[in-house]
Amino acid sequence: MKNKYTTPRLLLNEINLSDAEFILELVNTPEWIKFIGNRNINTNKKAGEYVQKIIDDPAIIYWIVRTRDNEIPIGIITLIKRDYLDHHDIGFAFLSQYTKQGYAYEATAEVLKDIIKDSAHSRILATTVKGNSRSIKLLEKLGFQFENQIQYENEMLLVYSVLRNKLI
């Protein structure tokens, strides 16, 4: 995987400690708390520790998505090898004022284009909760199909998948 990507409207860079303030804002949005879960990150110090934990874990990659014109952070794309899934899980989260503008699709599609070059990723997964209709719609637009439902930590997750040769 590359550590940075560029699209016509966006810049994606791997997360670093200077992104802690943005992460503090993102993980405390009502959408993050509702669909991803409360991480109890409520100070810059805790946000910095959270970011460091991500950086230190080789099973996790976070890219901060910024607007290309003024480099404002607007969201994240993640690629995580979760213990409870057989393949890597791609994810995304954006500040609410930047949703419904195609940014999540543009950024996720760019990362997926790179993933398909790596033969180690024959299949990519994505998980979400049933009520997250925007996420489901985006996954389907990207070519993901519903695979099954699993329970993890007292929550039912919908698992979507796409085969490497079926990606955009």
Report the CATH number at residue 98.
3.40.630.30
Flag whether 31 is in a domain. yes
The whole-angstrom separation of Cα 28 and Cα 24 is 6
Domain that holds residue 12: 4-121
Report which of 166, 91, 85 is spatially closest to residue 132, judged by C-alpha positions.
91
- Tell me what pLDDT residue 165 has: 65
- Tell me what pLDDT residue 97 has: 97
- Tell me what pLDDT residue 35 has: 94
Flag whether 126 is in a domain. no
* Block mean pLDDT (10 aa), the chain, length 168: 93 98 98 94 97 97 97 98 96 97 97 86 93 96 96 93 72
- Tell me what pLDDT residue 80 has: 97
Q: What is the CA radius of gyration of the chain?
A: 15
Flag whether 35 is in a domain. yes
The whole-angstrom separation of Cα 81 and Cα 56 is 14
- Tell me what pLDDT residue 154 has: 86
Report which of 100, 111, 91, 95 is spatially closest to residue 6, judged by C-alpha positions.
111
Residue 45 structure tokens: 């110090």
| Domain total of the chain | 1
